[in-house]
Amino acid sequence: MRARLSRAALGALLAIALPRPASALDLAQPDVREFVEQVVEHDHLPRAWVENVLAAAEPKPAIIEAISKPAEHVRPWFEYRAVFLTERRIREGREFVVAHAPELAAATRDSGVPGEIIAAIVGVETSYGRIMGSYRVVDALATLAFGYPPRASYFRGELEQFLLLAREARFDPLKALGSYAGAMGACQFMPRSYRAFAVDANGDGRIDLWSSWPDIIASVAHYFAVHGWRAGEPVAAVADLWNPDVEELPSGRVDLNASIEALRAKGLSFGTPLAADAPAVFVALRDADSPEYRVGFHNFWVITRYNHSAMYALAVADLAAAIAAPGPGEPALATTRGAHR
């Protein structure tokens, strides 16, 4: 990890009161007091350390504004897709796959997840590690845990996990940077996912999702493997609607709520090597000129475990396909292992 403390320094942090910023979190606030009691009693975290960390957290109004209108909720598909399917991002994705070929090959061998899918996740999340977020994670999580009622319970849980992670990994919780939602590193794991799915792939005794590419790549692959990725199966297919009874085809959900056979019977035409009884989901998208239809399969659903958005999953699949496709006069990438479309 980027920000680390020695055991001695961590102990000192418990004893020394940190300067309190003018806009610091109010420790007397009832829900903050309740949270402190919970983590001290349930997780056996030192009270002085918890209070010092929270007292240094600064609520950020900009975070509330950002989380209230995420891109996949306010942009139509054609604009959302255009953000991620740029010439630069595709080119850098191919460069990433070449630069990290050994790590990607190892991750694919262990998990079955294609190297270009892993690359596409890192490309969509952080432009291959170039943009990992500039908010202090403690500020982001404290802001949302105690200032965003619609999801306060979820973010209190993530704040708890972050404190546990900081203590286990011995890093300074006041220096770790991430997204406005508290996601960390090149693959943007939330604290709970970091603790549950991150992998020490290079065997150095610590897990670093900010700067260790072996750890980053293996952790993304492990996340998908745990959530049921099926090697060699496609993610999604482009579809035509020849019997336009859209009301009979519920869209917008990411559950696999139908089968390939059922969707075809209701008016969709699409190609796939999967069996007729394989689960599938219909996705209707708003394109610039006309609707666009896709059918997602099991691996589509797996990608939505990373981000519960159909548009996100399709952007990842499309970017992975573009990365894997050879350019003019170029051979196919050696690490490609599966279909995406």
Q: Residues with catalytic annotation?
A: 125
Q: Collapsing DSSP states into helix, strand and coil, what is residue 189?
A: strand
What is the Cα–Cα distance from 333 to 277, expressed in whole angstroms?
A: 32
Q: What are phi and psi of 184, to 5 degrees?
A: -125, 150
- The pair of structure tokens assigned to 312 is 């996100």
As beta bridge partners, residue 136 has 177
Residues 198 and 189 sit within 8 Å (Cβ to Cβ): yes
Residues 159 and 181 sit within 8 Å (Cβ to Cβ): no
- H or E stretch at 115: helix 115-126
What is the Cα–Cα distance from 271 to 273, expressed in whole angstroms?
A: 7
**In the Cβ-directed half-sphere of 298, how many Cα atoms lie within 13 Å?**
15
Per the listing, tokens 């500020």 go with 139
Query: E-assigned strands of the chain?
Result: 135-136, 177-178, 236-241, 258-259, 268-269, 279-286, 291-296
Dihedral over Cα of 227, 233, 236, 242: its sign: negative
